Amino acid sequence: MDQTTLALYIHELRNQCIYTEAAFRVFNQSLEQRIPAGVFYGTQSTLLAASQIAAILWPNRARAKKRGESLREALNLAEKHPLNDKRLIALWEHGDEKFEDWIGETKGQQIVFDHLGPIQPFLDNGINDGNIFRMYDPTTQIFYFRGDGYKMQAIADAISDIYTRVTQLHMRMFPEQHQPADGAQGNAAPADIGSATPGGDAAKEEAKEDKPKKAATKKTAKK
């Protein structure tokens, strides 16, 4: 991979890390204020950006494998990484068809749709993960989407790791972009989820901790 191509990918990876950070902020603020729509918007936006990062670094397509290898080598990233999750990488591919399949698979069954609160009451009533379309459990920090659970803390930690590596390389390739202008901060401050800092160790001093609060609303539907 030539240096110009590498520079473009590193610049875009940094952008996606910053977008993930912004999504985490929306998520944490909405959770603190108990705004379900904001929580779900934040979680889905987080997964969208995280999916983009994962797809760039661990592509599914055979023709893109070499690109992924080159980028991981430049960032000193191992093949085995928490963000190398095939579910996450393909999360938004054919989303309408996956939604259609989920509707068909759960037809006539009790389902959970847009719930903010603990999952345990549903499990106690015999509703399994596969029947959950969209839900966030603050007690476990797991976001469920189309029957799959995603650990938000693990995603935050994974993004933090990649963001730190990308920023270090980006600073060497684009030093002028990291010079403060008129006293302004050169890098965006990270957002927290629990104790994680998606912005990386270099930005932790700028972080403002948003403590998640539990919310308990229950929405179920029967087809």
pLDDT exceeds cutoff 50 at 11: yes
Give the span between the Cα atoms of 31 and 39, in whole angstroms: 6
Q: How confident is the model at residue 181, as a pLDDT?
A: 60
Q: Which residues of 137-150 are buried (b: 16+ CB within 10 A; e: fewer)?
A: bbeebbbbbbeebb
Contact 211, 191 (CB under 8 A): no
pLDDT exceeds cutoff 90 at 1: no
Q: Looking at mean pLDDT, say which of 133-137, 175-179, 182-186, 200-204 comes out highest.
A: 133-137
pTM for the model stands at 0.76
Give the span between the Cα atoms of 90 and 196, in whole angstroms: 24
pLDDT tier, 182 (very low <50, low <70, confident <90, very high otherwise): low
